Amino acid sequence: MKQGIFEIIENTALTESVFQMRLRGDTSAITAAGQFVNIQLDGLYLRRPISVCDLDGDVLTIVYKVVGKGTEQMSHMHPGEKLDVLTGLGNGYDLSLSGDKPVLLGGGVGVPPMYLLAKRLIGQGKQVKVILGFNTKAELFYEDAFQALGADVTVTTVDGSYGTKGFVTDALKDMDYTYFYTCGPEPMLKAIYKASNTSGQMSFEKRMGCGFGACMGCSCKTITGYKRICKEGPVMQKEEILWED
């Protein structure tokens, strides 16, 4: 973990409620796709955890959805403003387990961490398939970005307004893949857990206090005991997850 001051160089809307922010600063602590950063905002006690979307030298890209006071405040920020950011948080995805044909599934704001993961897997010569899940076409973002990387992209929408009608699991069921990686809301992760026919890794979204393992506020139960989403996670192996009824 490293604390640093980052300068905003871009903050643009991708949809009505989803924004892309690019920041320049010391990114050396970010070592794996799937890690997150924790951002301090004026007037708010708790930092806001946001997944790493992309990394290019000293430029960090995050994509966030406006859901409360913190992200609302971020959406009004401009290039040149600065943020206090903790970087290098979480464990990230293990790329060594992917096999030749991994599939990446992102739901809503679980899409962004899939981008850096896809970029790195494609850089290793893997045949990457990506399934992006949204409620409706108006929420769609990053389809073109994944295609530009060379990924085979499928989009699902719950209402059928774009791509395949249904959920990411509807697109997954007929696919040939060696391993899966995913991030999204817990009901989606649970559905993938049941529908997948290989091992895989799941990144959990959880409300956090400190973001670096001190407060135990984001613990979850696994087959080996309780783990902290912010420290031992947010990525968990499929086989270690114990789902609560």
Write the single-letter amino acid at 96: S
> Which of 30, 63, 89 finishes a domain?
89
| Count of domains for the chain | 2
Convert the pLDDT of each residue in 41-78 to its tens digit: 999 988 899 999 999 999 999 999 999 999 999 999 99
Last residue within a domain, chosen from 89, 106, 140:
89
pLDDT tens string 91-120: 999 999 999 999 999 999 999 999 999 999
| pLDDT over 60 at 216, yes or no | no
**Residue 214 pLDDT level (bands cut at 50, 70, 90):** low
Is residue 228 a part of any domain in this protein? no
What DSSP letter does each residue of 81-137 carry, written as one string?
-EEEEEEEES----GGG--SSEEEEEEGGGSHHHHHHHHHHHHTT---EEEEEESSG
Partners of 153 in beta bridges: 130
Q: 154-167: per-residue pLDDT in tens?
A: 999 999 999 999 99
Number of C-beta neighbours around residue 15 at 10 A: 14
Q: Is 167 helix (H, G, I), strand (E, B) or coil?
A: coil
Q: What six digits make up the tokens of 242?
A: 């114990």
Residue 160, SS3 per DSSP: coil
**Nearest alpha carbon to residue 150 among 175, 176, 125, 184:** 125
Would the pLDDT of 221 be above 80? Answer: no
Judge whether residue 212 has pLDDT over 80: no
Q: Which two tokens stand for residue 205?
A: 């979204």
**CA 175, CA 144: separation in Å to the nearest integer?**
21
Q: What percent of the chain has pLDDT over 90?
A: 80
Tell whether 70 and 132 lie within a shared domain: no
Domain that holds residue 141: 95-203
Determine, yes or no, domain membership for 226.
no
Q: What is the mean pLDDT of residues 214-219?
A: 57
Euclidean distance between the first and final Cα of the chain, in Å?
A: 34
- Give pLDDT, residue 99: 97
Which pTM value belongs to this model?
0.93
In CATH, what number is assigned to the domain containing residue 148? 3.40.50.80
For the segment 141-154, the average pLDDT, to the nearest whole number, is 98
Give me the residues paired with residue 23 across strands. Answer: 8, 60
